[in-house]
Amino acid sequence: MQGATRGDVKVLEAVDSIRYNSSRLTREYLLYLLYPNKKILRALLEKRFQSLETDMHEIAISTKDPKTKGVLKYFAFEKVRIGEMLKKKPSLQNATALIDLSESFMEGASAIAKRHLYVPAPEEEMWITTRSLDQDIEEILKYYIAHHLIKDDPQLRHKLQNAAAKVKRALIRINEYPYEGELKTTRAKLNHLWKTLEIYLAKADKLPLPIVTSLMGDELEASINTLGIFHSKNQ
């Protein structure tokens, strides 16, 4: 790790987690709006909210950078807003606000990441790629379900397409890596699931399937995480 400190590594891992959890929380809120009687979704929202708090705490204890601390103050303020939303009955208004907040969290996380960048070794770079891929899948699911619920926002379709383009770029790296044995099988499953998900994305306007698509996304992330664990241990 050229010029990296352990603090930088922890901050970047927590930043990736914030990106993931903010999108996932929004995705689960959108599902909760669609299916308010599913108690499991309410429990998942609480779990994701607590994960965001853990991520923020990890950054706070891992850096002394004043600009990073400034972004954390913003995160803390917005987290209070999210907490208030989660106490109320789900609404389309709060869902729209959460989409905007998740995008603000993504921007803030990117700003923090720029303060702690370093040149990773090849295996760590692959691990970072898998973490980014998880985030991109969550973005896709968030915008896919939002596109179904929020009919008057033409940008949602565009944002969905941008997230899908990021997945395709990450998969190029994944498919170039010389995996062996069961990991090759995992990669093959990942590619198959992605091609299937692309079909659903193409039909988002005509045949929205939020639960099916979410379950497929969870399967995709399980395969991605299997590859990520390999790269994490292989550094």
pLDDT per residue as tens digits for the range 76-96: 999 999 999 999 999 999 999
Which DSSP category does 89 fall into? Answer: P
pLDDT at 4 over 80: no
* Closest alpha carbon to 43 in 25, 55, 64, 56: 25
Estimate the crossing angle of helix 182-202 against helix 155-176, to 10 degrees. Answer: 160
Q: Residue 111 in contact with residue 73, Cβ under 8 Å?
A: no
Q: Residue 205 in contact with residue 161, Cβ under 8 Å?
A: no
pLDDT at 179: 98
Distance CA 186, CA 203 (A): 26
Mean pLDDT on 203-207: 84
* Closest alpha carbon to 119 in 230, 226, 12: 12
pLDDT at 208: 86
Domain boundary assignment for the chain? 1-118, 120-235
pLDDT at 154: 85
CATH of domain 1-118: 1.20.1440
CATH of domain 120-235: 1.20.120.1730
- Quick: pLDDT tens for 165-204: 999 999 999 999 999 999 999 999 999 999 999 999 998 8
pLDDT at 25: 97
pLDDT at 1 over 70: no
In degrees and rounded to multiples of 5, residue 5 shows phi and psi of -105, 165
Q: Residue 116 in contact with residue 68, Cβ under 8 Å?
A: yes
Give this prediction's pTM. Answer: 0.93
pLDDT band at 2 (very low <50, low <70, confident <90, very high): very low
